């Protein structure tokens, strides 16, 4: 699989990773891996099963039993379309709780590798460049100020008809960033060879253009 190209996009919550990954993949005709969705689905399933989220072994044990499928950008657990549930901020918090455990990260490792298919993959998350695809020829670390990220998440929720409070959102995202940066298992950090992109003042199109330029320079053929 090492000869299948991968672009990794890691960074904190609401920095624009998912949007950048989707648009870059569309431009290149690549597959996408939204690794956060896997942690979200694991957190949701663990909660529904009534598991203690601090018990990493117990949470990891449910991963192989999940009947997960991905169709047209939607995530299914069995026959249930859980996509909307997964996007909820509360599910993001569940995800970050189960994501601290090494057994959970190991249980999801191979599933993530299986997304590496021709003609290539754009993978977004926290440890795509550091732990899952360390050989990726292009690694992007995407950031934006906390104020910008809270405002983006706020607008995103409001546009879906979900009520939100910008101060609460900022507190939640800063708490999640802290947990992601300070855990010992694959913490949120740029890979040594990552290129930093602060998109606080950049639109989506400009960010995609930057990544495509980098890809022209870095792609291995
Ligand atoms: O995946 P992640 O949580 O990092 O962020 P996202 O869901 O891709 O982006 C969060 C929101 O910010 C979305 O509504 C994007 O459309 C918006 N966004 C933006 O306004 N400007 C950017 N340069 C990037 C994202
Ligand atoms: O969209 P947003 O950036 O808010 O979150 P996400 O990418 O869906 O990830 C949700 C949570 O899952 C994160 O806060 C991390 O704790 C965890 N996660 C992780 O540990 N490793 C990844 N590769 C992706 C997500």
This complex has an ipTM of: 0.98
The mean pLDDT of 133-150, rounded to a whole number, is 97
Q: How confident is the model at residue 219 (pLDDT cuts 50, 70, 90)?
A: confident
Nearest-atom number in ligand 1 for the CA of 20 is 8
Q: How confident is the model at residue 52 (pLDDT cuts 50, 70, 90)?
A: very high
Residue 61: asked if its preceding bond is cis (omega within 30°), the reply is no
76 φ, ψ to 5°? -115, 140
- Degrees, nearest 5: CA angle 41-24-186: 45
Which protein residue's CA is at the shortest distance from atom 17 of ligand 1?
152
Q: Is the CB of 24 under 6 A from ligand 1?
A: no
Which residue from 149, 150, 130 is spatially nearest to 140, judged by alpha carbons?
130
Nearest-atom number in ligand 2 for the CA of 43 is 12
Q: Answer yes or no: is 161 a known binding residue.
A: no
pLDDT at 14: 95
What predicted TM-score, i.e. pTM, was given to this entire model? 0.96
The mean pLDDT of 187-200, rounded to a whole number, is 97
Q: Is the pLDDT of residue 156 over 70?
A: yes
Which residue from 50, 75, 79, 74 is spatially nearest to 62, judged by alpha carbons?
50
Q: What is the pLDDT of residues 24-38, one digit of tens each?
A: 999 999 999 999 999
Q: Answer yes or no: is 17 a known binding residue.
A: yes
Compute the radius of gyration of the chain from its Cα atoms: 17
Query: Cα(156)–Cα(18) distance, rounded to whole angstroms?
Result: 13
Nearest-atom number in ligand 2 for the CA of 127 is 23
Q: What is the pLDDT of residues 98-134, one digit of tens each?
A: 999 999 999 999 999 999 999 999 999 999 999 999 9
Q: Is the pLDDT of residue 162 over 90?
A: no
CB 134 within 8 Å of CB 191: yes
CB 54 within 8 Å of CB 99: no
Q: Which residue among 92, 123, 183 has the greatest number of ligand 2 atoms within 8 angstroms of its CB, and so is best to mutate? A: 92
Sequence-distant (6+) residues with CB within 8 A of 81 are 74, 75
Nearest-atom number in ligand 1 for the CA of 19 is 8
Query: Cα(13)–Cα(66) distance, rounded to whole angstroms?
Result: 25
Bridge-based pairing state of the strands 195-198 and 138-143: parallel
Query: Cα(64)–Cα(54) distance, rounded to whole angstroms?
Result: 19
Q: Is the CB of 187 under 6 A from ligand 1?
A: no
Sequence-distant (6+) residues with CB within 8 A of 165 are none
Q: Is the pLDDT of residue 201 over 70?
A: yes
CA of 65 from ligand 1 middle (Å) equals: 32
Task: Beginning with the edge strand found earlier in the chain, give each strand of the sheet holding 6-10 in spatial order.
Answer: 31-34, 121-125, 6-10, 138-143, 195-198
CB 173 within 8 Å of CB 153: yes
The secondary element (H helix, E strand) that includes residue 46 is helix 35-48
Query: Cα(67)–Cα(83) distance, rounded to whole angstroms?
Result: 14
Which residue from 37, 77, 57, 21 is spatially nearest to 211, judged by alpha carbons?
21
CA of 47 from ligand 1 middle (Å) equals: 27
List ligand 2's pocket residues with C-beta within 6 A: 13-14, 17-18, 35-36, 39-40, 92, 95-96, 99, 125-127, 176, 180
């Amino acid at each position: 699989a090492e000869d299948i190209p991968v672009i990794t996009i890691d960074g904190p919550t609401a920095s624009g990773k998912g949007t950048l990954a989707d648009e870059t993949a569309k431009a290149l005709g690549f597959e996408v891996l939204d690794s956060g969705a896997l942690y979200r689905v694991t957190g949701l399933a663990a909660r529904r099963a009534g598991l203690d989220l601090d018990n990493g072994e117990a949470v990891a044990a449910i991963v192989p039993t999940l009947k997960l499928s991905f169709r047209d950008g939607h995530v299914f657990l069995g026959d249930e379309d859980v996509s909307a549930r997964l996007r909820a901020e509360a599910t993001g918090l569940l995800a970050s709780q189960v994501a601290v455990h090494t057994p959970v990260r190991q249980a999801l490792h191979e599933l993530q590798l299986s997304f590496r298919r021709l003609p290539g993959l754009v993978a977004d998350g926290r440890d795509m460049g550091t732990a899952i695809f360390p050989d990726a020829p292009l690694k992007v670390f995407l950031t934006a100020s906390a104020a910008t990220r809270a405002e983006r998440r706020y607008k995103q929720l409001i546009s879906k008809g979900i009520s939100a409070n910008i101060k609460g959102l900022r507190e939640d995202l800063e708490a999640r960033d802290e947990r992601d940066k300070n855990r010992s298992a694959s913490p949120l950090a740029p890979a040594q060879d990552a290129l930093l992109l602060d998109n606080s003042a950049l639109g989506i199109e400009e960010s995609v253009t930057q990544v495509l330029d980098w890809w022209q320079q870095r792609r291995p053929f």
